[in-house]
Amino acid sequence: MSGNRTNPSLPRSRGALSAAVIGYLRDDGPLPDPAGAYDADPYGDDLQLALHVCYELHYRGFARVRPELEWDPPLLTVRAAFEDRFLTALRRDATGTAAPDELLDGLLVEPVRGTGVSWFLQDRGDLRHVRDYAIQRSLYHLKEADPHAWVLPRLSGRAKAGMAAIEYDEFGAGRAERVHARLFADLMDDLGLDTAYGAYLDEGRAPMLALVNVMSLFGLHRSLRGSLVGHFAAVEITSSPASRRLANAMKRTGAGPAAEFFYTEHVEADAVHEQVVRRDVVGGLLDDEPGLAADIAFGVTATSFLEDRLGDRLLADWQT
């Protein structure tokens, strides 16, 4: 098991787009033609990995990649084409006409016995499934809440105060050992996994990359601030019941005390966050900018769409 590296290594490419972007970051070739993005599968491995590599320059970056490439104009031009392909597909596929409150109410309604990933892990998953799930989720949880922090300068009043309060909890409420990314690293340690940031990027499935990418897409663009708030609300509202099932899964499979604690912590914390995000973050933003209602709704539906794609992929892999 490795220690926490500051900068992960560049991943292996998964097609022409990602190969060209990775080569460019290594000073070993030209960028791809931006027009090539429009021939790519918007949810596929190649485009999602290429986009993820571009976004990671705004987080930890990569070993032996020049930091100034974060704002490299040619790279940003190519990234914009990737984003446009992805966002256009999401607007086409993640549809819905309900108001934000109606959509968020719908997320609170769960079937008597569900069939999603958290149900599978709770009822019949084993350590192989738990480990695979942790590997996938590590692409986000080892930087948990970081993408959402981008929206703070774009909010004001109640929305900003509510968002900052939730982020403060996510970042450990002033205690480094309680930062949620640290707690997830402890979970991975219990499972005998590498806790280094970005260690499992090569293992990340395309639907997981897309789910992490949509957070950065919404967070890095001021014009999508409403969608980021909708995404964040969807995550917080669905987290508590799912975390309860995942805590049960960790206990049943003997994953370890830190693995169980990560999810029990989220059961309580996110039950509180749900109220704050609905009342203050969503409610405050709608009071300030009522014209963002459709964007908030899109953030909710896009998140549900991508989570469903990830769940379907994991269950299909596990059941075969």
pLDDT for 273: 82
Q: Are residues 149 and 280 in the same domain?
A: yes
Whether 220 contacts 150, CB under 8 Å: yes
Whole-Å CA distances, 126 to 137, 151, 184, 252, 264: 17, 38, 19, 9, 19
- What CATH code is carried by the domain that includes residue 151? 1.20.910.10
pLDDT for 1: 40
Q: Map residue 214 onto helix, strand or coil.
A: helix
How many distinct structural domains can be found in the chain?
A: 2
Q: Is residue 183 part of a domain?
A: yes
Q: Are residues 161 and 295 in the same domain?
A: yes
Domain boundary among 49, 77, 93: 93
Q: Are residues 147 and 258 in the same domain?
A: yes
Whole-Å CA distances, 63 to 16, 146, 198: 22, 20, 11
**Cα-flanking dihedrals φ and ψ of residue 143, to 5°?**
-135, 35
Q: Is residue 113 part of a domain?
A: yes
Contacts of 39 (CB under 8 A, 6+ apart): none
Q: What digits encode the pLDDT tens for the residues 291-317?
A: 999 999 999 999 999 999 999 999 999
Distance CA 86, CA 95 (A): 14
Q: Are residues 104 and 89 in the same domain?
A: no
Q: Please name which of 182, 189, 197, 194 lies closest in space to residue 256, comparing C-alpha atoms.
A: 189
CB-facing half-sphere around the CA of 7: CA atoms within 13 A: 12
Q: Are residues 144 and 180 in the same domain?
A: yes
First to last CA, the chain: 29
Q: Please name which of 253, 9, 16 lies closest in space to residue 132, comparing C-alpha atoms.
A: 253
Q: Are residues 202 and 165 in the same domain?
A: yes
Q: What digits encode the pLDDT tens for the residues 34-91?
A: 999 999 999 999 999 999 999 999 999 999 999 999 999 999 999 999 999 999 999 9
Q: Are residues 149 and 170 in the same domain?
A: yes
Domain boundary among 64, 93, 122: 93
Q: Are residues 51 and 106 in the same domain?
A: no
Q: Is residue 7 part of a domain?
A: no
Whether 69 contacts 57, CB under 8 Å: yes
Q: Are residues 111 and 76 in the same domain?
A: no
Q: Are residues 187 and 256 in the same domain?
A: yes
CA angle 9, 169, 55 (to 5 degrees): 30
Q: What residue ranges of the chain have pLDDT lower than 70?
A: 1-5, 108-113, 270
Q: Is residue 10 part of a domain?
A: no
- Cβ-in-10-Å burial (0-12, 13-18, 19+) of 132 comes to middle
Whether 146 contacts 180, CB under 8 Å: no
Q: Which domain holds residue 36?
A: 16-93
Q: Are residues 199 and 214 in the same domain?
A: yes
- The phi-psi region of residue 268 (left if phi > 0; otherwise alpha if psi is between -120 and 50; otherwise beta) is alpha
